[in-house]
Structure 1
Amino acid sequence: MPPTTASNWGSMEKNYFFSGQGTMALELFEQAPQLDAIIVPISGGGLISGVALAAKSINPSIRVFAAEPKGANDAAQSKAAGRIVTLPETNTIADGLRAFLGELTWPIVRDFVDDIITVDDMEIIEAMRLCYEVLKVAVEPSGCIGLAAVLSDSFRNNHAWKDHNQIGIILSGGNVDLGVVWDSLRK
């Protein structure tokens, strides 16, 4: 039996479920075909499943990384345990990343996501500030976690990730509640 690859993974019904999210990878490759890594926010796993399947179908050697808040790190724990881990509670400013992996998304995350980078809320807030100051774009906490991951010490100091120079980062969402951000800074 041939090894499972992004091009032969699962049934057509499963692939159809993720195809919409996979268009993000296609758009990234149109703009930057030289990418050697993509970083995607992870929660329930739908977005990263589509991106990982599409990206690895185009370039099987590309590295796909998930970015997750430390206060909702079920995907990182699941990947380490080799099974779905559900947390008793979550605690993060990235409210869009509080969902858990499901039965459809877990196999893709397990097999096609190369690693999961966790960051704390202050790193997420710093990435939001950077997006606003440099790009003049308001990005919600859940949507800028990929940038927070790339800027984190854990990413920069990891020798396995050191050689990635052409990194695509999925930024999404502009639903920013500044009251929540300010309250997080006061904690």
Structure 2
Amino acid sequence: MQSRENTANKVLQETGAVLIHPYNDGRIISGQGTISLELLEQAFEIDTLIVPISGGGLISGVALAAKAINPAIRIFAAEPMGADDAFQSKINGRITKLSEVNTIADGLRAFLGDLTWPIVRDLVDDVIVVDDEEIIQAMRLCYEILKIAVEPSGAIGLAAVLSSSFKTNSAYRECNNIGIVISGGNVDLGVLWNSVNK
């Protein structure tokens, strides 16, 4: 992450470009909210949404729009065990950054921002943490059954719903109509095959 920020700052200085932060920006959060608008317009009976979480832009937009449409809807974040800063932040009541992240879900290695954290804190009902093996199994189901190519970060919501922690948690028993945001098809097949073969 530090390397990314350093490179972005260098490009900004050299070119005079303007940075639009990939998640900690009101415009990004607003744009992501259209997911809820479209989803709930087509499937209004959804009572629970499960969304991948990293920096929080996607889930912030989804949560703001969904709760505006239906204040009773539940919003759950799905996060990899090796990068569970949102889970830790919710427990600690403040942004918690990890000293190290290690997950196959490389799109979920960012940390919450100052704009996204208050939304996650207040509107995300819970964070479901899954391990990389559960993510890989969810990817496999996406390929085999849904016939869609999905990256680990995008498959994590399905992994969360299929996880034993979700199935056995009594607080989740009232989740009857679940919508899962599956996003992203950027798969490094070499990394994926290495992970599967371990």
- Determine if the TM-score, normalized by the shorter chain, exceeds 0.5: yes
Q: Deviations over 1:124-149 (max 9, x none)?
A: 00000000000111100001100000
Q: Does 1:132 align with 2:143?
A: yes
SS at match of 2:127: strand
Normalised by the length of structure 1, the TM-score is: 0.91
Does residue 146 in structure 1 map to residue 146 in structure 2?
Answer: no
Matched residue, 2:116:
105
* Structure 1 match to 2:133: 122
Q: Check if 1:87 corresponds to 2:131.
A: no
**SS state at 1:176 partner:** coil
Question: Which residue number corresponds to residue 184 of structure 1?
Answer: 195
How do 1:4-153 residues align onto structure 2 when only pairs under 5 Å count? 16-153=27-164
Amino acid across the alignment from 1:122: E
For 1:144 and 1:45, the matched residues in 2 are separated by 16
Question: Higher mean Cα deviation, 77-86 or 176-185?
Answer: 176-185
The match for 2:174 among 160, 163, 171 is 163
Give, in angstroms, the shift of residue 15 of structure 1. Answer: 5.3
Q: Which runs of 5+ in 2 are unaligned?
A: 1-24
Larger Rg: 2
RMSD over aligned CA atoms reads: 1.1
* TM-score, length basis structure 2: 0.86
How many residue pairs match? The answer is 174
1:53-103 deviations in Å (ceiling 9; x for gaps):
000000000000000000000000000000000000100000000000010
Runs of 4+ aligned structure 1 residues displaced above 3 Å come to 14-17
Per mean C-alpha deviation after superposition, the further-off stretch among 17-26 and 46-55 is: 17-26
Q: Distance in 1 between matches of 2:196 and 2:143?
A: 17
Choose 36-45 or 173-182, whichever is displaced more.
Answer: 173-182
How far the C-alpha of 1:181 sits from its partner, in A, is: 1.3
SS at the partner of 1:160?
Answer: helix
Normalized per residue, which structure has more helix?
2
Aligned partner letter, 1:139: V
Query: What letter matches 1:174 in structure 2?
Result: G
CA distance in 2, matches of 1:30, 1:134: 25
Deviation at 1:151, TM superposition (A): 0.3
Note closer, same or farther for the CA distance 1:59–1:15 as it changes in structure 2 (3 Å cut): farther
- CA distance in structure 2 between the partners assigned to 1:89 and 1:39 by the alignment: 25
For 1:131, give the aligned amino acid. Answer: C
| Identity across the alignment (%) | 72
